[in-house]
Amino acid sequence: MKKLSWITGILTGVMVLLAALGAVCGAIDQIATDENFYGGMSRTAVAKYLDAENDPQISAKVTEYIGLTDAEQDEFAKEMAAFMAGETDAQPDVLNEKEQQHMRDVRGLTQAAAGISKTYLTLAVALAVVTAWTGAKLKRRVLPRLIGGLSAVTVIMIIVQNIMNQVTAGGFEMLFVQMHEAIFTNDLWLMDPNTDILIRMMPQPLFEQALLNGANQALRMFLVVWVMLLVVYEIVSRMIRRHVAKGE
């Protein structure tokens, strides 16, 4: 029985970790395919980058810096979001070949994140069923789940804290560079604001805001998934206990 308790706790921990990773990957996909990221959020970030947030000529200054009007950037945002979502292979004409190749790389990573999200969340549901089966045979069913869940949450918190420490110690820019060096196999992400409009549209404040938004989206998604997993666990667990009771 003690061995079964350990198994239940470990399965619960893995289930929580898979749900969390699935939520993070899902949030990445949501942000990358959001029109607002390439439109309104971009212009707000550029205004912040230019220190022109309270300037009465804010729209004109942002347009001058980026090279696109509000309307032109809205159209760009629609085309880019559609491309990132895989609805089309055509990218906005304002991007040069280097920028288009980089965005193809980004789309590949985004689609991979979407696939990982679905896979991990599916596995989490499957583990909820398996955990219900192992936990239903225990007299103290709650304790193993609690220990496993808390262990997984502790791991998640340690990872989050390490990321926050990196941002605090070296600044967001260092973390941003390290992530790009780790993720991409080429240097297409290194852009020149004099020749590449993409870097003018996406200054550092945009990615800082995207990180905050992504964390909030991932947390909301994780909470929804966790409630669903608990429901699945409880339903399956009760079915198993009733079946065992009838057999006795």
Q: For 11-42, what is each residue's pLDDT tens digit? A: 888 888 999 999 999 999 999 999 999 999 99
Distance between CA atoms of 134 and 137, rounded to whole angstroms? 6
Question: For residue 106, which of 43, 184, 215 has the smallest C-alpha distance?
Answer: 184
User: Are the CB atoms for 41 and 80 separated by under 8 Å?
Assistant: no
List Cα–Cα distances, 222 to 22, 44, 96, 226, in angstroms: 8, 28, 38, 6
The predicted model scores a pTM of 0.86
**pLDDT in the model for residue 247:** 54
Q: Mean pLDDT, to the nearest integer, of 124-149?
A: 73
Q: Mean pLDDT, to the nearest integer, of 114-137?
A: 86
- The position carrying tokens 């219900």 is 132
